[in-house]
Amino acid sequence: MNCGASCTQHITGLLLAGDDLLLLLSNWYGLLFPADLHAPPRTVRIWRTSAPQDAVDVAAGSHGYLAAWREESEGSMVIRASRIDANGNYLDGLVLTTLAAIPSAPAVAGDGENWLVAWSDRGTIRGVRISSNGTVR
């Protein structure tokens, strides 16, 4: 996970899920710290792009995690999400919406089986539900 001497990493999200701790870093990776503090943390790939992310939020479910954020892509603002399984493996990336204006930071909540990602777009609250298998509704 070393990104070279010119790279600076910072924490963009943090989640305590049961006995595990998921720490999201600014270089599209995270660290999954297991309950057994003697075991080393697992490196987690959050997204497969190099675009800078902003305003990351994460929530746990019974089968893993969902991280959501906003980023600029080709002159538009995009709300994206990634599912990560309970072992820290990247499952998939989702584009939730593309907007001309800058949306608010996305917020993520879950009920154990599904997640809700919500944001504000020019004063209107918008959101999508994402099932544990990645279906966006």
Residue 25, pLDDT > 50, answer yes
Residue 26, pLDDT > 80, answer no
Residue 2, pLDDT > 60, answer no
- Rounded average pLDDT over 91-107: 90
Domain count for the chain: 1
Q: Which residues contact 101 (CB under 8 A, 6 or more apart)?
A: 77, 121, 122
| Position 5 in a domain | no
Which range of residues forms the domain containing residue 85? 11-131
Residue 17, pLDDT > 80, answer no
Q: What is the mean pLDDT of the chain?
A: 83
Prediction pTM value:
0.79
| Position 136 in a domain | no
Please tell me the predicted confidence (pLDDT) of residue 12.
72
Residue 52 sits at φ, ψ, to 5 deg, of -70, 135
Q: Domain with 121 in it: what CATH number? A: 2.120.10.30
Please tell me the predicted confidence (pLDDT) of residue 6.
47
| Position 94 in a domain | yes
Measured between alpha carbons, how far is 17 from 5 in angstroms, rounded to an integer? 32
| Position 26 in a domain | yes
